[in-house]
Structure 1
Amino acid sequence: MPGPTVSVIIAAYNAMPYLTQSISSAAEQSIGQENLEIIVVDDGSTDGTAAELARLNEVYPGLMQVVHQANSGGPSAPRNAGLDRARGEFVFFLDADDHLGPEALERMVAMSVENGTDIVLGKMVGIGGRDLPQSMFKRSQPKTDVFTSRVYWALNPLKLFRRKLIEKHGLRFPTGLPIGEDQPFVALAYLHASGISVVADYDCLYCNLREDGGNTTVRNGGSEPRLLFLPRMVDLLLERVPPGPGRDHLAHRHLTVDVQQLLNDHLVHEPREVQEKALERLSEIIAPLWHDGMNDRLSAMARLRLHLVRHRMLDELLEVVEFDKEISRSKAATPVLVDGGRAYARYPYLRDPVHAVPDLCYDVTAQLGTRHHVSRAELRGTELHLAGHAYLHRVVTQDVTTELILRERDTAAEYRLPVTHTATPGLGADADEGRFTYDLAGFEAAVDITTAADGGPLGDGLWDLYLSVGAQGISKEVRIGAKRAESVSAGPSTRIVAIGEELRSLTLYATKPYGNFTLDLGERKHKVLPRLSLDGIGWAAGAPTELEITGRCALDAYPDGALKVVLDDDRGGTVSFVARQAADGRFVVRVPIQELTAGLWGGELRIGSWALALPPVPRSLPPAKWRRRALPWYAEPVRDAGDRFALLVARASLVRGLAGPGR
């Protein structure tokens, strides 16, 4: 008999009152109880957990396995006991104080099955102030791996695992670690997995911050427990992952998250003697992972922190930790020193000759943010007109060198164009507690596409708009448009413009979903013909020999006289009639039939090289008649022309005249 699809394993220790919701959320999953088993291991609870498990076992008969064991001191032993009993194709580890979203398991199983992956991370939501990793949940990922994503930043076991992966590699939770026991288990599972999926568009797991502080990571305070699992993770990376970018990617997580938590939350509260010993051990632990080639991956604060750890500068480290906490509490960014085209955060001991900490530990040039706002973006003829402001966050707008960049998306061809710098007095005063102002951040630009390519016209393509925002020798690029005034339209503005003797299409639009501006030159994305439509053909009111053709043109602009109806006859003759614009983009073309020569006339609506065939002349349209040089003439639709415009213009014979009009 086949086993269940998912085995939900819950390690419970004094988990009341959270346990009830945890088990109920698993039992009532949309995947159905026929596809579930719930294994709860009571790790020596003393708070009524056992009684509640007995009650729930009656509420969900046949669904639960309940195991009671002496307290083991951590979640490893009960989780392993659950694994030993699991029969499901998948296992999901659920903490007893957390609960699942109603469709969580169904969605995660479907993601794994559809993509052939061994592990699925479901989006986690913190409750009561619980801080959880979120960087891996920016978007759903059908299939990724541990080296090209942020999944390694989530080393808790609250995930869906294919049980075959666990058993094939003999994975179990180490029992000798008071905390961090999940990291070796999850890290090895990641490294062995055939693929990893992320469900980010549904809240799969809700994690509580317990009011009694009973979460394991809260119970086990102090630096000592962390100094037990961290070297184990360092050894795991050194043994399992070869040197190079892959190892550095994983090491980044431990050198930032784990080191910061140990220092900021634990070491600072311990006696001096304990601090000194812990710092010495930590320095030895991180030594194999941190090398100069990693510095570009690390923030300046992380570099400074690691430098002080490496050199066992305890007093300086304690001051930096307190400074780091103040940064987190403050609503203002740290000021910078700009020197030689680089920006250095004014953290403690910057260029202090006594401590001689390298500038590299303060360099935030790569982390400087660009901020911009577009107040005008519009096409006028062949010119693009832009205005707004842009600046480097924390860098005073002196020696401004901002310029506009047009970069073709496929070929990467680019042209840099000057802008006019304009005053923006007081800009920035409402942020960062008023520490920074940017008085010369404004820009204005008028770009003529007929000369933008080093004096020549731009070629066809998608030309993305960037600013190279520069001040005091530092410059950074930013796509523009996402931040714009409400009055600046995000919708496409398509027009026909004359470049030399040629008519070309030009569209200014904002991309989706990011809203950045792009110029589409040559119909790469925005076609002209769908913006032209024809409504009808008939004789003009009060002018029985004028054919009236009506339609709509959704183009924002085109050269005078460019939109017209062109008729050609079966003898090679051609005549054209210019459209007259009406309200709301509508147009009217009047064709004086009496001016046409005898023949069978076809036709189309044209604007430059674009042509839209005219629809058939309605069969119900009566013939027109007139006299030319005293002789009778007529025009009538050709009845068997099918779906094309066909109008016969001819002189009436006396015989046809006796038979009646148009006969």
Structure 2
Amino acid sequence: MAAPAVSVIVAAYNAMPYLTRCITSVAEQSIGQDKLELIVVDDGSTDGTGKELQRLSGIHPELLRVFHQENSGGPSAPRNFGLDHARGQFVFFLDADDYLGPETLERMVAMAEKNGTDIVLGKMVGVGGRGLPMSMFNRNQPKTDVFSSRVYWALNPLKLFRRELLERHALRFPTSLPIGEDQSFVALAYLHASGISVIADYDCLFCTLREDGGNTTVRHGGSEPRLRFMPGMVDLLLEHVPPGPGRDHLAHRHLTIEVQEILGHLAAESRPQQEKALAQLADTLAPLWHKGLNNRLSAMARLRLHLVRHQMLDEVLELTRFEKELAGSKVSTPVLVDDGRALARYPFLRAPARSIPDECYDVTAQLGVRHHITRAALNGTALHLTGHGYLHRIATEDVTNELLLRERDGKTEYRLPVAHTPTPALGTDEDEGRYTYENAGFEATVDITTAADGRPLDDGLWDISLVIGAQGITREVRIGSKRAAGVSGKAATHIVNTAEGTRAVTLYTTHPHGNFTLDLGERKHDVLPQLSLNDSARWASDAPTELEFTGRCTLAAYPEGALTVHLENGQNSATFPATRNGTDFVVRVPVSELAVGTWRGELRLGSWTLPLPELPGNLAPAKWRRRALPWHAKPVPDADGFALQVARTNIVRALIQRIKP
């Protein structure tokens, strides 16, 4: 029997009524049952799980393999049992109260095979109020690793693993832990993996918060079970990851998520338990935490760790209460602005008896930056911008906003002044109106002929930022992602006249972030693809001696009269302007005004040119009289490209042609 592509392993304990949906979601996978095996290990259930598995086995006899064992007290033993019996190239661990999206396994296997990765994370969706890690699902990541992504923030095993990876490193779930058993298993798999993929554009896994409180982490409360697995995770990082940015990146997760969770459980325990747990937590974290990590951590995390390190139990309990109240509040914590820094008014800020350093409260780098663009319009050589920008929770006093242009490749920068404008009532729609920003508005003009300290901007991609300053604090933000409904983000190319000649200027928004950039010199937006001529010219219906060229121009603007048809006959030249109607244009050439000769030409817009279409050979000659003598214009036979012959008609030859039999 051929080995399946995926072995889905389900550890089931008192999983009704969720189990039925879980099994059905696997049976209906688009990858097909012939590529699957479903191993369910009933871990001593007492609620009818075993009976339901028997019924489902009758429905899916070729898919479902059921095993029963005495209750082991956690998911580790049944998962290990399932892994020992798995035959698939990949394994997927699925909890019995969760279920899969219809295309999950097909997409995951395809992602792993295409990119040669050993682990695939699929986007998770919480059901019934279940909270889940989401920071790693901002975008698809075909191949990443544990150090250059946020995958380490998802240490649950609900993923696709290449089974060869697990067997090569003898990875199994520890059976001595009631919770957190998955962290060491997944962490080691991450560290040994040849690559990790992330699927963020499809809802792969639906995780349920059970109404009966049957989720493992809900059943096992208190700080003690969490403090049992934390030392192992610290030791794992110390053993397998050398000191430096990589270890710090992974430590960040434990120093924030686990510490906050442990302190939350500790707050509900007795005083002796609290003292013991806090001392144990301080000892556990000591080898992992160092001052250099502070720049990675939020101010709240720094404050937590300081209190834990110094075993300040009363302060820990007060901070935990404060955090709980803050989580339920709609108002952000106010700040103290001092010497260019913003300090959050968390408990014990500058309390003399505690001597907690200001760095534990410094939120300057965490301040939210708000901006909104109400106008972004190119007019000639000038870009006009209006909007507002402010720092969240910082009153707009001593405002020093300015515009910043930065060339993307060369990193050349120019700062431009803005005019400050009032913004009454701004901010009343958040934080219950506690903070207002009445002087956050700005108006700015970027003239490409003078923006480089009085000189023209060079060709390049010029990213546009707003440097927001108030009360001595400054932050920079790219602008454009937040804009009024009437402000377009669609690329718009303008052709403008400057002292140096005609230039192409395109205002566009980046993908996917939607920020404004000026493209000077066609770095990303070529002019010629936005100009086209129809395949043939014709005589105008209302003027038989006017040759009519038609075409399409999607440029946003160009100088009046700049789009022309230019003709030459070797001695003379003639230019004829286009008439524009929306995106269409027409150029009419009165051939009766042309001198004798063979005329060739092109469509011109400044320095950009397009060849005129070849005249059809069956185009009838145009005829007219000049000073009572007959003239004509007709296509030149077998010409290479556009060629129009203008000549006086030979009367004798014309008569002979007429009377020829």
Query: TM (normalized to structure 1)?
Result: 0.96
Q: What residue in structure 1 maps to residue 170 of structure 2?
A: 170
Matched, 1:647 2:644: yes
Q: Distance in 1 between matches of 2:367 and 2:260?
A: 22
Q: What residue in structure 1 maps to residue 93 of structure 2?
A: 93
1:251-307 CA-partner distances (Å, limit 9, x unpaired): 11111111111112x101001111011001101011111101100110000000000
Distance 1:63 1:658, change over 3 A: closer
Distance 1:578 1:629, change over 3 A: closer
Q: Distance in 1 between matches of 2:207 and 2:548?
A: 70
Query: Alignment partner of 1:332: what SS?
Result: coil
Q: Distance in 1 between matches of 2:519 and 2:227?
A: 57
Q: What residue in structure 2 maps to residue 190 of structure 1?
A: 190
Q: Distance in 2 between matches of 1:168 and 1:532?
A: 60
2:595 to 594, 597, 609: 597
Q: Distance in 1 between matches of 2:312 and 2:610?
A: 77
Distance 1:57 1:603, change over 3 A: same
Q: What residue in structure 1 maps to residue 11 of structure 2?
A: 11
Q: What residue in structure 1 maps to residue 123 of structure 2?
A: 123
Query: Alignment partner of 1:225: what SS?
Result: helix
Q: Is the 8 A contact 1:457 1:499 kept in 2?
A: no
Q: Distance in 1 between matches of 2:56 and 2:518?
A: 63
Q: Distance in 2 between matches of 1:11 and 1:287?
A: 35
Deviates most, 29-38 or 209-218: 29-38
Task: Say what the alpha-carbon RMSD is for the aligned residues.
Answer: 1.9
Q: How far is the alpha carbon of 1:552 from its aligned partner?
A: 3.9
Query: Alignment partner of 2:255: what SS?
Result: helix
Distance 1:547 1:103, change over 3 A: closer
Q: Distance in 1 between matches of 2:268 and 2:405?
A: 54
Distance 1:532 1:355, change over 3 A: same
Percent pairwise identity: 70
Q: Is the 8 A contact 2:576 2:589 kept in 1?
A: no
Q: How far is the alpha carbon of 1:634 from its aligned partner?
A: 2.3
Amino acid paired to 1:563: L
Q: Distance in 2 between matches of 1:168 and 1:6?
A: 18
Q: Is the 8 A contact 2:111 2:197 kept in 1?
A: yes
In the comparison of the two structures, how many residue pairs are matched? 659
Amino acid paired to 1:414: E
Q: What residue in structure 2 maps to residue 610 of structure 1?
A: 608
Q: What residue in structure 2 maps to residue 427 of structure 1?
A: 426
Q: What residue in structure 1 maps to residue 268 of structure 2?
A: 269
Matched, 1:224 2:239: no
Q: What residue in structure 1 maps to residue 156 of structure 2?
A: 156
Amino acid paired to 2:307: L
Amino acid paired to 1:58: G
Q: What residue in structure 2 maps to residue 361 of structure 1?
A: 360
Q: Distance in 2 between matches of 1:554 and 1:212?
A: 61
Query: Alignment partner of 1:94: what SS?
Result: strand
Distance 1:99 1:548, change over 3 A: closer
Unaligned runs of 5+ in 2: none
Q: Is the 8 A contact 1:268 1:318 kept in 2?
A: yes
Query: Alignment partner of 2:224: what SS?
Result: coil
Distance 1:556 1:100, change over 3 A: closer
1:583 to 567, 581, 584: 581
Q: What residue in structure 1 maps to residue 283 of structure 2?
A: 284
Q: Distance in 1 between matches of 2:27 and 2:33?
A: 6
Q: Distance in 2 between matches of 1:32 and 1:494?
A: 50
1:98-150 CA-partner distances (Å, limit 9, x unpaired): 12222211211111111111111121111111111111111121111111111
Distance 1:543 1:185, change over 3 A: closer
Q: Distance in 2 between matches of 1:619 and 1:578?
A: 23
Distance 1:449 1:216, change over 3 A: same
The 5-angstrom pairing of residues 316-335 of structure 1 reads: 316-335=315-334
Q: Distance in 2 between matches of 1:608 and 1:574?
A: 20
Q: Distance in 2 between matches of 1:139 and 1:159?
A: 17
Amino acid paired to 2:114: E
Q: Distance in 2 between matches of 1:588 and 1:74?
A: 78
Q: Is the 8 A contact 1:564 1:576 kept in 2?
A: no
Q: Distance in 1 between matches of 2:429 and 2:100?
A: 41
Query: TM (normalized to structure 2)?
Result: 0.96
Q: How far is the alpha carbon of 1:580 from its aligned partner?
A: 4.7
Q: How far is the alpha carbon of 1:629 from its aligned partner?
A: 4.9
The 5-angstrom pairing of residues 489-504 of structure 1 reads: 489-504=488-503
Q: Distance in 2 between matches of 1:183 and 1:129?
A: 23
Q: What residue in structure 2 maps to residue 564 of structure 1?
A: 564
Q: How far is the alpha carbon of 1:39 from its aligned partner?
A: 1.7
Distance 1:315 1:509, change over 3 A: same
Q: What residue in structure 2 maps to residue 105 of structure 1?
A: 105
Q: How far is the alpha carbon of 1:502 from its aligned partner?
A: 0.6
Q: What residue in structure 2 maps to residue 471 of structure 1?
A: 470
Query: Alignment partner of 2:537: what SS?
Result: strand
Q: Is the 8 A contact 2:564 2:575 kept in 1?
A: yes
Query: Alignment partner of 2:619: what SS?
Result: coil
Matched, 1:248 2:224: no
Q: What residue in structure 2 maps to residue 350 of structure 1?
A: 349
Distance 1:543 1:220, change over 3 A: closer
Q: Is the 8 A contact 2:565 2:578 kept in 1?
A: no
Q: How far is the alpha carbon of 1:649 from its aligned partner?
A: 1.4
Deviates most, 60-69 or 100-109: 60-69
Distance 1:598 1:25, change over 3 A: same
Q: Distance in 1 between matches of 2:207 and 2:541?
A: 74
Deviates most, 412-421 or 509-518: 509-518
Query: Alignment partner of 1:269: what SS?
Result: coil
1:407-465 CA-partner distances (Å, limit 9, x unpaired): 11222112110000111111101111111100110000122111111111111111111
